[in-house]
Amino acid sequence: MKKIGLVGGTGPESTLMYYKELNSGIDAMTGSKSMPEIAIESVDFRKAWNMVCEEDYEALAEYLSSKITSLKNSGSEVISLTAVTMHIVFDLLKEKTAVDLVSIPKAVCNEVNRRGYRKIGLLGTIFTMEQDYMKKDFEQAGIEIIVPEAEDRKLVAKRILEELELGIVNDTTLTEFNGIISKMKDEHGIEAVVLGCTELPLLLNDNNCVLPCLDGVEIHIRELINLASA
C-alpha cells in the first residue's frame, strides 16, 4: 500500500472527511487487513484563502509547493490537494514540485463521462464557479458546464464560506441550494450537479438533492484509494 499525502486545512471539515474515508475505505477493501499510512500537511486556511482573493497566485503556489515537497520528502507516493479552489494553481504546483498530483477536476470529469452525462451544473466557491480550473477538463471532453446566475453564485459562495467551511449545516441553506439547482434544471436542462467544493457534501447528497449529485470528495477518495493500492 502506497503512502498517501494530503495538503489539508482548506478547510478543516473536508480534511476530516478525507482522513476518515481513506482509512475506512481501504480497511473495507482489504477485508480489515490493512489501513493506509497518511501524511497531512495542514495549511493556514485564512492565509491561503486571502492569497486566492488577492489573486496572489505565485505566493499561493510557493506556499502550497512547500507542503507538497514536505509530503514527498516524508515518503508519500500518492499526493493530492483536499480543496477544489486550491486547484487554481494546480499547473504551477506540478511545475514547481515535479509531483504528479491527483486532480479532483479530472477524477470528477472521468466519473461524469462514465455515467454518460453531457450537461451538468456546477456549485462551488465563487472562484470555482467563475474561473476555468474546474471546467476545462469537462469542456475538453465535450461536456457542457452550467453555473448559477450571478446572484445565486454569490449566495452559494457566501453559504460555503460562512457556514459549511465552519461545519455549520442549515436546513434553510439546503432549501436555497435545491432551489438554485432546480432553476438550472428548468432553464438549462442540466442532468446532474457537481459538488465542486469539498465542503458541499456536508449539505447535499443523492438523498436530499433534486438531481443526482456528483460528490467530488467521494469520487476523488475512490481515485486515491485505487492509486494507493495499485
pLDDT tens-place string over residues 14-70: 899 999 999 999 999 999 999 999 999 999 999 999 999 999 999 999 999 999 999
Quickly tell me which residue has 477485508 as its cell: 31
- Given a contact cutoff of 8 angstroms between Cβ atoms, the answer to whether 18 and 54 are in contact is no
Q: What value, to the nearest 5°, has the Cα angle with vertex 227 and ends 59 and 206?
A: 85
What's at 219, amino acid-wise?
I
Quickly tell me which residue has 515537497 as its cell: 69
Spatial CA neighbour of 185 closest among 111, 112, 121: 121
Q: Which residues contact 58 (CB under 8 A, 6 or more apart)?
A: 92
Rounded Cα distance between 176 and 106, Å, is: 28
pLDDT tens-place string over residues 161-218: 999 989 999 999 999 999 999 999 999 999 999 999 989 999 999 999 999 999 999 9
Give the start-end residues of each E strand in the chain.
4-8, 38-42, 78-81, 119-123, 144-146, 192-195, 213-215
